[in-house]
Amino acid sequence: MERILVAMSGGVDSAVAALLLKRAGAEIEGAYMKNWINEDNVLGECPWQQDIVDARAAAEKLGIPFRVVNLMREYRERVVEYLLDGYRRGITPNPDTMCNREIKFGVFLDYARREGFSAVATGHYAIRREVTPGRWGVFEGADPNKDQSYFLALLRPEQVAAARFPVGHLLKPELRVLAREAGLPVADKKDSQGICFIGNVRMQDFLRHYVPDNPGPIVRATDGTVLGAHRGLHLFTIGQRRGIGIPSNTDHENYVVVGRDTVHNRLLVAFESEAAPGLWARECLVAGLSFLDEPLNGAQRLLVRARYRDPAAPARFEPSAQIPGQASVVFEKPQRALAPGQVIALYAGDGSGRLLGGGFYEHISPLVPTPAAATR
C-alpha cells in the first residue's frame, strides 16, 4: 500500500485530494506547510492560523492523522528572497512556480521521504499520467478555468514521479459536490490566492516594506514627454493599465506600461492604440530551462503558455547549441506584455495538453511598431 503525505492548505481542493486518496485505499496523513506568517508585520492579513484550524478539521472529519510542518526558513530563503531579488533587479518573478519546485515538491517532499512516505499529494488541478513504463507526464487539468499545470512547469522528473494530483480530473463544481457529500467543513470555503502576501496583502505594499523607493520619471515612450513621477520601477509590470498615477486621454483611454528603463530609472508608458515599442513581441530568449521528462533537443513546434491563464499559443522552439538551458521561442502570433523573469510553460505541439517543461524569459525582442490588429 502506498503511503502518501497530503499537503493540506486548509482549502477545499487539498481536502478533497485527501478524501479521494483515502477512498482509493492509500495510507495517508495530512500536513499543513507553515511557510509564511507575516512575521514582519506587512500591512494586511495572512490567515495561516485559521488555515491550520480548517485543515485539521478536515483531517479529523476524514479520520486521518494531521501534523504541521514548519518550513518558514526554507520558504524565506528559496521563495521570498527569490521574489525580492527579482524585483530589485527589475524583472518579474513568479513565486507560485518557484514554491512548487523548491518547497512543495522540494523540501516538503524531502521531509515526507524522511518520515517514511513515498509520495506527496496536493490539490493542484493537473493530471499525472504514465506515458511509458516507469515514466510519468503531467497534463492540463480537466477544468479549463482551474488548470494549474502552468505552475508545475519547472518540476524535475524525480519530483513528478513522487507527485500526486488526485483532483485534476474534476471540474471545480464537481469537487465542491464531493466535499459537501462527504461533510467536509471546508466544502464552501472561498478559494485562496495561494500565497498569503499576494492574496491578502497588496504586492505594492509588500514590496515597499522590503525594497526601498527609487523615484524617477514616467515618460511617454513615443516622444519622450515626461508625464509624471514613479516611486520605483519594481512597483510596475509590463502591460499594467491601472495604478500608474497619470490621467487618461480625452477618449478615456488609459496609459499602459510598455517598458522599464533600468539604466535611466524611467517608466515607459503609451496608449494601447499607439505604435509604441515594448508592448507586443513575437520572439524571446528563454533561460533556466527545466524539463519534466527528457530535454527537448532540436527545433520543433510546440504549444506555449506565455503566462498563467493565457491560451496555449503555437510557437517554434529552438534550443541553443552553445549555451545549455537556453532556447529561442518564436510565436506564430504576437504576444502582449511579455516580461523578463516571468515563467514560460512548454506543452506538446500535438494538443494533448502534456506539459513538457518551462523556463524564464531572459530577453524579449519587441515588435516595432505595435501591430494594430494584434490579438492575444
Same domain, 44 and 190: yes
Q: What are phi and psi of 113, to 5 degrees?
A: -65, -40
46 is catalytic: no
Omega prior to 369 cis, within 30 of 0 = yes
Same domain, 199 and 235: no
The most distant pair of C-alpha atoms in the chain lies apart, rounded to whole Å, by: 68
Q: Is residue 170 assigned to a domain?
A: yes
Same domain, 189 and 293: no
Q: Is residue 219 assigned to a domain?
A: yes
Residue where one domain finishes, among candidates 271, 288, 314: 271
Q: Is residue 304 assigned to a domain?
A: yes
Q: What is the pTM of this model?
A: 0.91
99 is catalytic: yes
Per the structure, the count of domains in the chain is: 3
CATH number at residue 300: 2.40.30.10
Per the model's pLDDT, the better-predicted residue between 118 and 38 turns out to be 118
Q: Is residue 371 assigned to a domain?
A: no
Same domain, 237 and 160: no
Same domain, 23 and 115: yes
Whether residue 151 contacts residue 96, with contact meaning beta carbons closer than 8 Å, is answered with yes
Query: Which residue in 31, 99, 154, 279 is the catalytic one?
Result: 99
Residue where one domain finishes, among candidates 203, 228, 246: 203
Buried b (16+ CB within 10 A) or exposed e, 322-339: eeeebbbbbbeebbbbbb
Query: Which residue in 196, 285, 306, 364 is the catalytic one?
Result: 196
CA-CA distance, 152 to 155, in Å (whole number)?
6
User: Average pLDDT, whole number, for the chain?
Assistant: 90
CA-CA distance, 250 to 228, in Å (whole number)?
18
Per residue in 296-352, pLDDT (tens digit) is 999 999 999 999 989 999 999 999 999 999 999 999 999 999 999 999 999 999 999
Per residue in 233-273, pLDDT (tens digit) is 999 999 998 889 898 776 778 899 999 999 999 999 998 87
CA-CA distance, 306 to 161, in Å (whole number)?
26
Residue where one domain finishes, among candidates 150, 170, 203: 203
DSSP string over 55-74? HHHHHHHHT--EEEEE-HHH
- What range defines the domain where residue 9 resides? 3-203
Same domain, 252 and 308: no
Q: Is residue 376 assigned to a domain?
A: no
Same domain, 8 and 101: yes
Same domain, 231 and 128: no
Same domain, 14 and 146: yes
